[in-house]
Every structure is written in structure tokens, then in C-alpha cells.
Amino acid sequence: MASSSSKDYVFTRDYLDNNRINLQHSLSVQLFGYHIHQSIPTPTGNSSIADVGTGTGKLPSSARLDGLDIFLDAAPLPELLPQNVNLRLWNIKDDVPEDLVGVYDVVHVRFFAFVLQQPDLENVIDNLAKLLKPGGYLQWTDMDVSSIRLEKIKPDIEADAQLTLMKLFQGNEDRLQPAWVPELPELLTRKGFADVESDAKECQPYLALAFHECGLLATEVLARNKEGEKDGVGLLKQVLDQAAKETRHGSNLAFTRYTFIGRKQ
């Protein structure tokens, strides 16, 4: 499989992972019930929206839409995009380019829990605020990895591999154990955002299953990215096979997910 995996990013950058990102997008919209939170004024044709860490570049078809990402390998080629959508390379940790300062009505960020670590956050939030016009909104959706738990349809169902998977996944490296997501509202407030809101969502069981199987794919992708690097990858794959079987007998790992919004003053 052609891929451009990277030590800076825990997942592969290939069609398997692109499918995972697209599936996760659909499941998230199903879970939250919106693309843009209802407290954010509906964008008009004159609005500018930035999707930071855009991944596969899934953007709606009105307004000016800029997808910013450290890699654009997952996004469609420019020739395939509608005219209102532009893609641009930008590392969320780097200074905001001059021509993007104060440009956006909405800045959207989603699923950076495995990308950022606690010490990155202050600078990242300052950067996101710089992208916004005064009065513009930041919307950030993420999973709280620290909320991970096992759910079962009956207490006596065997789910040892799911538990092992959970521990292996968490134990592999620091980027896989983020606990900062629930702290974002406090940080946004401290950084001067107004009208900060938090929308916590738990999945219905059928949706938790779909997210879990998407998570199994994420684990498979993670194992591929680490092939040849370390011990433990073989074990991860074995456990993954068993966890997939246990899933079909009625168990899954589950997480709390959040959308946070805040208005730049």
C-alpha cells in the first residue's frame, strides 16, 4: 500500500486512514447533529471559514472555505475541489501567516487529541484566535481519551482483548494518552474568548459500536505506522483480531465527545 507515514503523526497517511477520517466525519455529524453549532451565526455567502487540520478536506459548499493542514496528502487535488475551497499548508504550532490574520468568521478544529499535547495548547489557542475576526467563533470538537471505558450488552460477556487493547493503546506513547480535552473551555475563557459553550455527547449503543469499529481501524493504521519500529506491534495486531471478534459478541470501547465554542472579543 502506498503511504507516507511520519514520525510526527501517529497514523499512516494513506487511503485506509483517509477512509477512517471520512467515516469519523460522518459519525461525528450524526452524533452532534450539526456541522456548525447552533449558537454560531449561520455563515452566509460572504463568510470565511477555516478548517484547521482539515484531513480529507470535507467542507460544505457556501462561503469561502480554507482547509489548513500540516500535510495535504489526504485532501483531494485542487482540480477536484469546488471554487470556494482552498487548501493551504500550515502547522497549527507555527506563527499565523500575515495574510491570514483576522480573516475568518469561523475557525473549525476537530480531532486533535492525538496530535497535540498539553504544553502545545496555549500557543495553539493564541494562533487560532489570531485567525479570527473580532466577533468570530472558534468551534473545536474532540474526544476525551481519558473517558475511555468498556461497554457490554451483558456483564458476563468476555472482553479481555478489548481491555488489553485499551491498555496497549494507552501504554504505547504519550500522544495516545491525552487528558486535556475537557480542560479546553477553561483555557478558552482564560485566553479571552467569550460565550464559551460546551456540548458533551454520549453515543447511543449502535453509534458507539460504529465509532468503536472505526477505532479498531485507527488501531490497525497505528500498528502499520509503527511496523518495524518497536516490540509490541505484533501483539497489538493479535489483540486487535481478538477484540474485533469480541465486538461482534456485544462489547465495545466508548468515549465521551465534546464540541466547544467561544467568541473572540
Ligand X SMILES: C[S@@+](CC[C@H](N)C(=O)[O-])C[C@H]1O[C@@H](n2cnc3c(N)ncnc32)[C@H](O)[C@@H]1O
Question: Which residues would be at the binding site for ligand X (CB under 6 A)?
Answer: 9, 21, 24-25, 53-55, 69-71, 74, 91-93, 110-111, 115
Nearer to ligand X, 27 or 161 (CB): 27
Nearer to ligand X, 73 or 242 (CB): 73
CA distances from 9 to 3, 106, 128, 143 (A): 13, 26, 20, 17
Q: Report the residue closest to ligand X, judged by CB.
A: 55
Nearer to ligand X, 93 or 190 (CB): 93
Nearer to ligand X, 110 or 224 (CB): 110
Helices marked H in 172-232:
184-190, 205-225
Nearer to ligand X, 21 or 184 (CB): 21
Please say whether the dihedral angle defined by the alpha carbons of residues 232, 237, 242 and 246, taken in this order, is positive or negative.
Answer: positive
Q: Which residues, in sequence order, are bridge partners of residue 110?
A: 141
For residues 150-189, b (16+ Cβ closer than 10 Å) or e, as one string?
ebeeeeeeebebbebbbebbeebeeeebbebbbebbebbe
Query: Grid coordinates standing for 120?
Result: 502545545
- Smallest gap from residue 160 Cβ to ligand X (A): 28
CA distances from 239 to 30, 62, 219 (A): 29, 44, 10
